[in-house]
Chains A and B, each alone.
Chain A
């Protein structure tokens, strides 16, 4: 996170010709683009080698990946549709990370959010669609937010490790979902696929006009921007980062750490809960076990690849959405198994994590040669 700025005296003396002012000012920013970019390129080259071992041409691979993810307007829509829930679930990990907390329970918050949103819609069937939709947003965000706030509270008041508790809460959420969907909330007509009743076609939020990408993408973009402003341009965000840097120092300067933890965890969970609401209101139209497909877990990967930066989450989610979108084409054209997408995700993850060691160590970016 902290890249050292170069010693001004040093640069002034040794490299006057290389526009030290520019590098000094933007070196750190360039690093944030250059290093992940290089890590991504290295991962793609490694994956190409892996594919070559199976006797497939890496050039074909890169072409199909590009074509399937970004090569046509359809491919773009496919990519963006897959990216939409990932932006929101990634925020569930990235926001608490500002406080130094590792929350990996986005999947559970998504499921609880979906259940809460569905319940709200089913309870308000006679209301106009806009009211129902607003109620779904509020219920979904509150449900998801409370579930992650629980993990934050356990951490703050009882000293329970938030990583473990948030993960275990995922299984509890899934059990609650299955219990309700197969029991109290089951639509008797859903014979072989236990599901809740449908929220009704009028209450669905539909797609962004002119595309078939659902509104979840816009929700995600707005949430990511809001999170960025909150963390980097408000005193609240500053306080959170201080507490994340050194919790004792934060207490000494009088910050209310408990309040920070609960608020941030609630906001984080409400993002994942909103993703759950969108899955119900834009995709499935009801709640059933199909909601638990791992968006919450992929979101953790996105957050770490984005180095927990809310803005960087957007391109990373689109990248992973694109990998998912092109995965089908790799199966169909190159005959690669589905698991190859996971292999690529894993390779990217390892390279990006390893590249962390490079920050502040690339000589020319410091203005030294």
Chain B
């Protein structure tokens, strides 16, 4: 619209006008560098899901020729479509990372169709060949890291009772709970995991209540799958329990209580993506991987971790790195006694059945509904 008039009037304001008029849409100023937009659903210093992505964005900021722009607390509505378009139209972004699950369909798909020349990479979505080719989804098998956490937790617990503060009984969360429990029972076959679902991704009050009530029941090692593990970690440490982290390394919050944790490794993955694009290759539309592919990682062990635990955990980690280990290996029973994976069936990480997980394995105390 009436664009010239605005710039002209603005020029009269002097001062900052020079830089701003470049920002006002004269795109050639940015032609030399690529602009990458990151969109977070929560705050980028939440010690959790969003911070993990912000750390990945920070890794890109260090590379030459890249300009990284970020926007936090964008809800999963048409607001994210507008944020994407704003980044494209006003900042000249050509590669976008809308990082929250609910951004994928319909919002990011719609934008990818509308801007077919730009690239869209989504965390957690399930790209299918019906979706636009300039869109992609990536995710990590973080249950591998949870399995390692479980082993460490199994060795550390004295009561044999582990606690898991979880958001919703959806496949991704159930898979983490199950992997953590299977890992713990590898170390201590009698260990149990009490799970509490808070009902949503960010419920600090309920997370604190769940943490306290788990500890009151005798749980002495806790982990979680919520957007911001900070509440659980700090409360558990205050009560003298040990914790395994999630999303990012929370050891600064509880240096003594922190055993290890399952972390995303976006700071390794995002530069890889950018290099692929720079080399003229395309990023695979459906990108998945675990410890071996450096999409997830395990936090360094805390001081309370025994040598025995470290040895066992490192051994399994080495097997993951060599691609020679299956977590969901039959026979596996759920906590109601039904066989969910038959003897002789190996469900490898890429098995689509695992994406539909709707059960809790034997050893988990709790119910999915």
B269 is an interface residue with CB less than 8 A from chain A: no
B90-A337 in contact (CB<8A) = no
Which B residues are in CB contact (< 8 Å) with A178?
A: 199
Question: Beyond A82-B82, A192-B124, is A76–B1 a contact (Cβ under 8 Å)?
Answer: yes
Interface residues of B in 46-76 (CB under 8 A from A): 69-76
B75-A328 in contact (CB<8A) = no
Interface centre among B69, B73, B82, B124, by most A CB within 10 Å? B82
Which B residues are in CB contact (< 8 Å) with A183?
A: 369
A361 is an interface residue with CB less than 8 A from chain B: no
In the bound assembly, the distance between CA atoms of A325 and B199 in angstroms comes to: 30
B91-A332 in contact (CB<8A) = yes
Which A residues are in CB contact (< 8 Å) with B77?
A: 279, 283-284, 290-291, 293
A290-B102 in contact (CB<8A) = yes
Residue-wise, chain B 1-33 has the 8 Å CB interface mask toward A (1 for contact) of 101001000100101100010011100000000
A72-B75 in contact (CB<8A) = no
In the bound assembly, the distance between CA atoms of A95 and B124 in angstroms comes to: 43
Interface residues of A in 75-89 (CB under 8 A from B): 75-76, 78, 81-82
Residue-wise, chain A 45-65 has the 8 Å CB interface mask toward B (1 for contact) of 000000000000101100100
In the bound assembly, the distance between CA atoms of A291 and B79 in angstroms comes to: 12
Which B residues are in CB contact (< 8 Å) with A72?
A: 1, 3, 25, 89-90
A interface residues, how many (CB within 8 angstroms): 43
- Which of the 9-residue segments B145-153, B165-173, B185-193 touches chain A? B165-173
A73-B1 in contact (CB<8A) = yes
Residue-wise, chain B 345-359 has the 8 Å CB interface mask toward A (1 for contact) of 000000000011000
Which A residues are in CB contact (< 8 Å) with B124?
A: 192
- Do most interface residues of chain A lie in helix, strand or loop, or is the interface mixed? helix
Which B residues are in CB contact (< 8 Å) with A234?
A: none
Which A residues are in CB contact (< 8 Å) with B43?
A: 337-338
A68 is an interface residue with CB less than 8 A from chain B: yes
A329-B86 in contact (CB<8A) = yes
Which A residues are in CB contact (< 8 Å) with B90?
A: 67-68, 72, 74-75, 329
Residue-wise, chain A 318-352 has the 8 Å CB interface mask toward B (1 for contact) of 00000011001101110001100000000000000
B101 is an interface residue with CB less than 8 A from chain A: yes
Query: Nearest chain B CB to A119's CB is how many angstroms away?
Result: 20
Which A residues are in CB contact (< 8 Å) with B89?
A: 72, 74
Residue from A66, A214, A291, A328 in contact with B86 in the complex, judged by beta carbons closer than 8 Å:
A328
B101-A193 in contact (CB<8A) = yes
A71-B171 in contact (CB<8A) = no
Question: Beyond A68-B90, A76-B1, is A331–B24 a contact (Cβ under 8 Å)?
Answer: no
Query: Nearest chain A CB to B66's CB is how many angstroms away?
Result: 15
In the bound assembly, the distance between CA atoms of A60 and B20 in angstroms comes to: 8
B87 is an interface residue with CB less than 8 A from chain A: yes
In the bound assembly, the distance between CA atoms of A73 and B2 in angstroms comes to: 8
In the bound assembly, the distance between CA atoms of A325 and B369 in angstroms comes to: 39
Residue-wise, chain A 194-222 has the 8 Å CB interface mask toward B (1 for contact) of 10000000000000000000100000000
In the bound assembly, the distance between CA atoms of A262 and B58 in angstroms comes to: 55
Interface centre among A74, A183, A194, by most B CB within 10 Å? A74
Which A residues are in CB contact (< 8 Å) with B199?
A: 178
In the bound assembly, the distance between CA atoms of A337 and B70 in angstroms comes to: 11
Which B residues are in CB contact (< 8 Å) with A194?
A: 168, 170
Interface residues of A in 285-306 (CB under 8 A from B): 285, 288-291, 293-294
B69-A67 in contact (CB<8A) = no
Which A residues are in CB contact (< 8 Å) with B24?
A: 67, 71
In the bound assembly, the distance between CA atoms of A63 and B19 in angstroms comes to: 12
B71-A328 in contact (CB<8A) = yes
Question: Beyond A59-B15, A194-B170, A331-B70, is A290–B82 a contact (Cβ under 8 Å)?
Answer: no
A253 is an interface residue with CB less than 8 A from chain B: no
In the bound assembly, the distance between CA atoms of A116 and B30 in angstroms comes to: 47
Q: A178-B199, A328-B87 are in contact. List 6 more A-B contacts (CB 8 A).
A: A59-B13, A74-B85, A78-B85, A78-B86, A81-B78, A192-B124
Residues of B participating in the A interface, judged by any CB pair closer than 8 Å: 1, 3, 6, 10, 13, 15-16, 20, 23-25, 43, 69-79, 82-83, 85-87, 89-91, 101-102, 106, 124, 126, 168, 170-172, 199-200, 355-356, 369
Can you report 24 residue pairs joining A to B where beta carbons are below 8 Å apart? Answer: A60-B20, A63-B10, A63-B16, A72-B1, A72-B89, A75-B86, A78-B86, A82-B79, A183-B369, A191-B356, A192-B172, A283-B78, A284-B106, A293-B76, A293-B77, A294-B75, A324-B79, A328-B83, A328-B86, A329-B86, A331-B71, A332-B70, A332-B71, A337-B72
